[in-house]
Chains A and B, each alone.
Chain A
Amino acid sequence: MSEKTAKKFDISKHTGLLSSLIAIIGGLVFAFLVLILTNPSKGVAAFTTLITGGFQLGGMQNLGTLFYFATPILCTGVAMCVAFQAGIFNIGGPGQYSVGALAAILTSLYLSKNFPGPLAWIVPLIVATIAGAAWALIPGILKAYFNVNVVIGTIMFNYIEMYYMMHWINDYCYDAMKGQTRAVPSQCKLPQWFMPAITSNRSADIGILVAILVAILAWVLMEKTQLGYELKACGKNPEASRYAGIRSKRNIMISILLSGALCGLGGGLTHLSVSGTYITMKEALAAEGFNGIAVCCLANNSPLGAILGALFLAFLTVGGNYMQIYGFQREIVSVITSVIIYFAAFSLFLKLYLEKLLNRQKKEMNKVTGEELK
């Protein structure tokens, strides 16, 4: 046991990463058990497919699918990181995400004729971002100026969005034949650049690049700038922040609007993607919004960590799509992700426990070496 800690690599400095890894491994072990117990004969094969992300079956073109799934949850994940670090528990991801998506669809359907060249996709994206922020505006005001619990405020807005959405879709962009939103015009789709080449997937686009860029920018904002210093200060100790003259109301507004904007952007990127997707008329909240919380938990609130978290969850989703081959329901992936999220929720606890454990070991080591020295 002590030999392990004697390694040069100091684990105690990376307990955050380690706890996320443990969360992931715990989730996977559980997944394995579920698969084996449901169907012992095919469990191993299914599990292999799952943890290889289906790459051995689907080949490299799955990389494009992976990026497609990762894009929205990376955006919402980063959105949650920014909000949580500022102490704002934004649960309004689904609403902000869907409003962004609808804004992008409507803008491209009605206004795209007016925009030449790349503006045709840039403008809808910007509108999506603004729409996401706008959807967070009222819960933000309620929190900042009337001290209404932000969880309640944002959750309520998810439901307002869900029902309004049907009304809006029905009135403005309903394709009655297919029972879903009308297709986005092709000139409004995201450009593809070199993405099809590197992913061997014809419909890969730059969505993931935008999302990664946004994650990096968010990290820089939180870690390197004055605004980030203030936002985190408000998150860690609102009273001391007030004492220091930081305007907490303004910061609540900034963090929740930023968070909403990122969710909206996620919606925009997904619905302008080359592979294309639609909003159907059903009473459901967008899962991408809630999965952002999972990404954020896995990433320990770090926007950079969110990149890995989002890619990992997307990886599982891709693998999960093959589960039907083995006679499993593809929902099994949702079960597995849920378990991982459960474990991730424990990751703080795990982190503290690991730190304690490592400290103890270190001390025992010190003791041993100390006695040797004597």
Chain B
Amino acid sequence: MEKTENIIEFRHITKRFPGIIACNDISLDIHKGEIHALLGENGAGKSTLMSVLFGMYTPEEGTISIRGKEVKITNPRVATELGIGMVHQHFKLVQNYTVLQNIVLGSETLKGPFLDMYTCRKKVIELSQKYGLAIDPDALIENITVGQQQRCEILKMLYREAEILIFDEPTAVLTPQEIDELMDIMKGLAREGHTILFISHKLEEIKRVSDRVTILRRGKLVKTLNAADTTTTQMGELMVGREVSFHVDKKPAEPGEEVLKVEHLTMINDETKKKVVNDVSFSVRKGEIVAIAGIDGNGQSELIYGLTGIMPINEGTISINGEDYTRRSIREKNMVMSHIPEDRHKFGLILDYPLSYNLALKNYFKPDFVSKTGFLKFKKFDSYADELIDKFDIRSGQGRITMARSMSGGNQQKAIVAREIDQNADLLVAVQPTRGLDVGAIEFIHKQLVEQRDEGKAVLLMSFELDEVMDVADRVLVMFEGEIMGNLDPKKVSVEEMGLYMAGVKREEKQA
């Protein structure tokens, strides 16, 4: 192999956070021109290591050398000057600026005191053609898809002449087709001599796209492997530290009586006047997991918001256990329906409340938690939190008093799952419950969902991950442009066929 020149050398990097060693004595060489994947569970230290490289954290110990020279990367500006660029998991784009404006923002070409947008535009278009990053430079960010936003982020790095590109979980938000395109783009970039560092939990993708993979576990480097010489199973085991099953073990469903019944539900967007949910009817019975599948933006999120009461519905009825819940308050719905929300930071948690307060978010008003005079029973808050932390293995720096904000994403999600499952409601609505989680946590959450089903709960799962839908659900409803295209049995339908329903090409006759 020719690729032996080390472009980055990490030496004994250690980074501590209160209560946690995020990176523990990590030494790693990155070769020039390779795609190097970093694999690990949530909190394994991959993002921290990359943040150290990008200058967002300063390590307590250890050194970094770039192109053979030891450097101190004290902030992202230094990193940019060293030719390091990063695409964050959550994009950092100005919503009401155009693609072009976003790309050049901060490093505009000037002609005297004025912007020279012509030169900027030429450079951006050249880059976009060279690397096959198709974009419309004049489109507003708020109007383009997530995939296009990501391309805009990549162009941003290339525009700043970054040679080392860091991708933080780039596929988490993409559709299968967009993922394919991204993989091609990444390979193309590597061919042109760029070095790519790629954080992911998704073993398949790593196997497909990367040259080498480094596995981290609990802040320590476990092993660096050639992607070609390893299997996903081996990677999974190294990552979690034990055997993992990718397949969800479950018995055939034994559906009982109907819990949720939705009839002719219609929701209209206030601004566009478009029917985002169009005459949707379905039901979920006890002891089954019904999944809502589809490509992002086809009304699934709105359907869930309407169902849970977060958004108003225009027409139709919702009944739970035979009772009409269409116009009930969120609090009343919460009594019969648990809800793992899509956006854990927006809805799921109060980030500046401690973990114990967050775990009690759906219970604090119940007699166990508050006295008749309105005083909170903190002892109960604490014991309840400890119970859930223990039962669901929620890890945090300081236990129940940890601020939710300072917890890792996976553990935040675990906290929400713990809280919602413990509600013991007849209906569990789980929206993207494993988004951004690692294999171990995904396995755990899937097991919990199946367990809930087996206990006789009705489970409604909304997910963009087709694998998850196929694996976990007993029945799949595919949504396209606000309508249900099919009511399918995942055991009888192939992924490809499902894809046709998702794309709106195929449609079942009006189902019951």
Query: Which residues does A use to contact B, with CB under 8 Å?
Result: 224-227, 229, 232-233, 236-237, 239-247, 359, 363, 366-367
**Given contacts A224-B375, A242-B310, A243-B330, A229 and B364 within 8 Å (CB-CB):** yes
Q: Which residues of A contact B436 (CB under 8 A)?
A: none
Contact present for A226 and B374 (CB under 8 Å): yes
Are A226 and B364 neighbours in the complex by a CB distance under 8 Å? yes
The 6 closest A-B pairs by CB, nearest first: A245-B331, A243-B347, A245-B330, A237-B350, A226-B370, A244-B361
**B16 is an interface residue with CB less than 8 A from chain A:** yes
Give min CB distance, A297 to chain B, whole Å.
18
Shortest CB distance A171–B (Å)? 42
- Collect the chain A residues with CB atoms within 8 Å of residue B308's CB: 243
Binds A, one of B140-148, B351-359, B451-459: B351-359
Answer whether A226 and B365 are a contact pair too, CB < 8 Å, given A243-B330, A366-B16: yes
* A-binding residues in B (CB < 8 A): 16, 18, 60-61, 308, 310, 329-334, 339, 341, 346-353, 357, 361-362, 364-365, 370, 374-376
13 contacts between A and B (CB under 8 A): A225-B374, A226-B364, A229-B376, A239-B346, A240-B346, A240-B347, A242-B310, A243-B308, A244-B334, A245-B331, A245-B333, A366-B60, A367-B60
User: Whose C-beta in chain B lies nearest to the C-beta of A233?
Assistant: B350
Beta-carbon nearest neighbor of A221 in chain B: B374
Q: Are B361 and A240 in contact (CB under 8 A)?
A: yes
Do B376 and A226 touch (CB < 8 A)?
Answer: yes
Which residues of A are found within 8 Å of B341, using beta-carbon distances? 243
Which single residue of chain A is at the shortest CB-CB distance from B17?
A: A359
- Cross-chain contact of B310 among A243, A247, A366 (Cβ < 8 A): A243
A227 lies within 8 A of B374 (CB): yes
CB distance from A237 to the nearest CB of B (A): 5
Tell me, in angstroms, the Cα distance from A363 to B16 when the chains sit together: 8
Which of A229, A363, A367 is within 8 Å of B357, CB to CB? A229
User: In the assembled complex, which residues on chain A have CB atoms less than 8 Å from the CB atom of B357?
Assistant: 229
Pick the residue among A224, A232, A242 that contacts B330 (CB under 8 A).
A242
Secondary structure at the A interface, as helix, strand, loop or mixed, is helix
Q: Closest Cβ of chain B: how far from A244's Cβ, in Å? A: 5
Contacts of B18 in A (CB 8 A): 359
Residues of the B chain whose Cβ atoms lie less than 8 Å from the Cβ of A229:
357, 364, 376
Residues of B within 8 A of A232 (CB): 353
Best-surrounded residue of B61, B330, B362, B370 (most CB of chain A within 10 A)? B330
Q: How far is the CB of B307 from chain A (nearest CB, A)?
A: 13
Chain A residues whose CB sits within 8 angstroms of the CB of B352 once the complex forms: 236-237
Quick check: B362 and A244 within 8 Å, CB to CB? yes
How far, in whole Å, are A239 and B330 apart by their CA atoms in the complex? 12
Cα A246 to Cα B363 in complex, Å, equals 11
Q: Hey, which chain A residues are within 8 Å of B333, CB to CB? A: 245
Max chain B CB contacts within 10 Å: which of A229, A232, A247, A363?
Answer: A229
Establish whether residues A243 and B375, one from each chain, have CB atoms under 8 Å apart when the complex forms: no
Q: Which residue, of B330, B350, B351, B361, has the highest number of chain A Cβ atoms within 10 A?
A: B350
A227 cross-chain contacts in B, Cβ below 8 A: 374
Tell me the smallest distance from the CB of B382 to a CB of chain A, in Å: 14
Residues from chain B with Cβ under 8 Å of A366 in the complex: 16, 60
User: Do A237 and B365 form a contact, CB below 8 Å, given A245-B330, A367-B61?
Assistant: no
Cα A236 to Cα B349 in complex, Å, equals 10
Q: How far is the CA of A359 from the CA of B16 in the complex (A)?
A: 10
Q: Which residues of A contact B375 (CB under 8 A)?
A: 224-226
Q: In this complex, what residue of A is CB-closest to B357?
A: A229
- Judging by beta carbons under 8 Å apart, are A240 and B60 in contact? no
In the complex, are the beta carbons of B353 and A233 less than 8 A apart? Answer: yes
CA distance A232 to B174 in the complex (A): 36
